[in-house]
Amino acid sequence: MKNDIKQNIMINNDEEIYKEFPKLKGRDYFCQIVLTTKRLVIYTQGNTITKNRKTKKRGMNEIELKSINHLEYYLEYTKNSFFIRLLGFVLLLGSLILAYGIYQSLLTVPVYPYSYIINYAILGLVLIIGLFLLFRVKKVLYFKVISGFNIITELELQPTKYNELALKYLASKFY
């Protein structure tokens, strides 16, 4: 298979291409979608996880437009687990308390060249790591097509503007 989807699909005489989305960015893979008068063609290439192993995979799904029952796309926000956020809060609070203790001379810290700058730089780095662990949110853009006898095609895409506009266009053609 070649990376250009137009070279991989056979188009009949009575079929023409409505719209093509050649630059969709998936999570750890590359994706292209072509909408024709009769079919929705989805081509993916990249890393997938099967049976707890990371493998490279190429795939092409051709879905007849008449058989599509349900089409949806949505953004999913996932936060870190409670224990990771608790660890982030402890790092944040600990770095602030240590910085205050060093500033007020409540703690004695060994003296070495540039220690007054390096101590605060290390505590600032720990503060940033704590903030990152506390407030990090992971976003994933899902695209699901249910067709025929509940055959589900699902894509996990990065939430970029191009991906969102492409999925909005596809959804508007079906509903």
Q: Are residues 102 and 129 in the same domain?
A: yes
For the stretch 144-172, pLDDT in tens is 988 877 778 888 899 999 999 999 988 88
Q: Are residues 30 and 66 in the same domain?
A: yes
For the stretch 105-149, pLDDT in tens is 898 888 888 888 999 999 999 999 999 999 999 999 999 988 877
State how many domains the chain has. Answer: 2
Q: Are residues 65 and 12 in the same domain?
A: yes
Q: Are residues 9 and 71 in the same domain?
A: yes
Q: What is the pLDDT of residue 4?
A: 66
Q: Are residues 10 and 71 in the same domain?
A: yes
Q: Are residues 67 and 18 in the same domain?
A: yes
Q: In the chain, what's the furthest Cα-to-Cα distance?
A: 83
* 141 lies in some domain: no
* 140 lies in some domain: no
Please state, in angstroms and rounded to a whole number, the distance separating the CA atoms of residues 43 and 68. 17
Q: What is the pLDDT of residue 3?
A: 63
Q: 158 — phi, psi (to 5°)?
A: -75, 145
Domain span holding position 118: 81-135
* 63 lies in some domain: yes
In terms of Cα–Cα distance, which of 34, 44, 76, 73 is closest to 163? Answer: 73
Residue partners of 91: CB distance under 8 A and separation at least 6: 126, 127, 129, 130, 133
